[in-house]
Chains A and B, each alone.
Chain A
């Protein structure tokens, strides 16, 4: 059926959210070619959405391979696994420890501020979390250690090594006994000598 023949149906049958259509200005002037091109774009976008959010499967893998360049170019790659599959049962505070040439030690906790400042500091918290969580983030850890060394130098010290640690605090299950005092653990996950950058 030619597209033009459908136009009467389109105008006469409105969606539940539509106000009655009195003119079809743009659609009336939209060529079948333009409409076809938009339809192809819409299908590609829907397939991309499916590829990036669908459960793991062969279909998802195939679709993702097909649509990945489009998803990356348009920024439509996405993941909505916030607090999934389950929220962490621990609190992890990231701390940078600086060993100095004079034998002293400096400690730089990676913590956000409170109040309005949370709306920009959450990125530091996120970065800190990814530093220990993300495998293969060696470049980021090295860059962060260098940044901390710069801060320490700016404070008048001579840093020789930066070690990144996470302090793990276990959160008890609801209704369960609180964790024993002193149960926090300190885990070192990266250490590097630091020279001048």
Chain B
């Protein structure tokens, strides 16, 4: 075998299969579970008008080969609420890590069914939610900081097994593809090239949330800055998110961009979902710090409460991380227990 081929193969193995802590997966699972729960709740006011007996969405008579939706079985009947309830319970279970793989599957099936049945009523944010649901389904989610782990190994609840990150990598590539693709699509538009696009976008009455002051939208210079700045930010995220030094900066810019979109435009769950997908890029050691910081905060709160003080020290906290240690450790920089070895299969 030639050296380039060997190097290529080694690089492939390293990128997709070199084991790493599952902390970023758990962070993404918790964040996505929260967004999916709110998304499921947001269906309540539209479920019956859209999919009920006299709903506005006509049943899908046929889908192209490969397409599917469970709404073909339940649309027009009260069973839509059963499917919705399954989705809600699945989203909550995913967030807390209870029967995590099954929960992720249920969330994926419900999101897929809803968005497939009414493609004209659901937007890019809903589509993104479906994509993230699919990737989370493939991940070894629930292997730590979850009810599943608590039930099988309480002492190991806050330890993070090392697993091949191939599904997380797919989610990371997906994020990059979204931004590069959107820049490519926009680059062909006159409005994005002449610097007026943002001015028009924030004045579309149907989606306008908070009216942007006219001194901003009427200023060609400010609108050019906003338009070209948007393109530059999106391109930077798509490419530089793979650079370790640039990553925090471009993702911070991305959060600011989506915050500004969220304030001015009513586009549903797009901003919340894509910022949640950013969690796929949190480095494993940082993700462990965040989750262990969360544990420490929970522990301190529990100790402050009268019931918690009476019960401490608890049996669920490993000795190495007993409350005495926690009190002296600054929040957020507690070291992950490196001695943890995973035993649970994927």
Contacts and interface: CB of A to CB of B under 8 A. Distances in A.
Contacts of A142: 58
Contact of A171 (B21, B115, B178, B203): B203
Contact of A39 (B16, B44, B66): B16
Interface stretch (A15-23, A99-107, A187-195): A15-23
Nearest to B346: A26
Contacts of B17: 10, 27, 30, 35, 38
Contacts, number: 268
Nearest to A129: B206
B78 to A, nearest CB: 18
Given A21-B162, A86-B189, A119-B269, A143 B18 contact: no
A103 to B, nearest CB: 26
Interface string A144-165: 1011001000000000000000
A119 B262 CA distance: 11
Contacts of A72: 63-68
Given A10-B17, A72-B63, A76-B131, A84 B170 contact: no
B182 to A, nearest CB: 4
B67 A175 contact: no
A80 B97 CA distance: 31
A126 B342 contact: no
Contacts of A87: 191, 197-198, 200-201, 204
A146 B58 CA distance: 11
Nearest to B168: A17
A183 interface: no
B19 A175 contact: no
A54 B133 CA distance: 22
B184 A55 contact: yes
A82 B182 contact: yes
A126 B177 contact: no
B266 A68 contact: no
Interface in B100-129: 108, 111-112, 115-116, 118, 120-124, 127-128
A14 B244 CA distance: 13
Given A25-B342, A122-B207, A85 B14 contact: no
Interface string A42-85: 10011001000101000000000000111111111011111111
A131 to B, nearest CB: 7
B146 interface: no
Interface string A1-23: 10100100111011111110111
Interface residues of B, number: 107
Interface string A94-112: 0000000000000000001
Given A3-B13, A72-B66, A174-B217, A21 B20 contact: yes
B4 to A, nearest CB: 13
Contacts of A80: 124, 178, 181-182, 185
Given A1-B6, A120-B45, A71 B14 contact: no
A6 B13 contact: yes
Given A24-B162, A86-B189, A134-B120, A175 B13 contact: no
B324 interface: no
Interface in B212-250: 217-220, 223, 244
Contact of A19 (B120, B122, B131, B285): B285
A123 B14 contact: no
Interface stretch (B46-54, B79-87, B290-298, B305-313): B46-54
B19 A21 contact: yes
B33 interface: no
A49 B174 contact: yes
Contacts of A146: 54
Contacts of A131: 120
A80 B124 CA distance: 7
B6 to A, nearest CB: 6
A63 to B, nearest CB: 14
A130 interface: yes
8 contacts: A19-B285, A19-B336, A26-B162, A26-B345, A71-B66, A80-B185, A88-B204, A140-B56
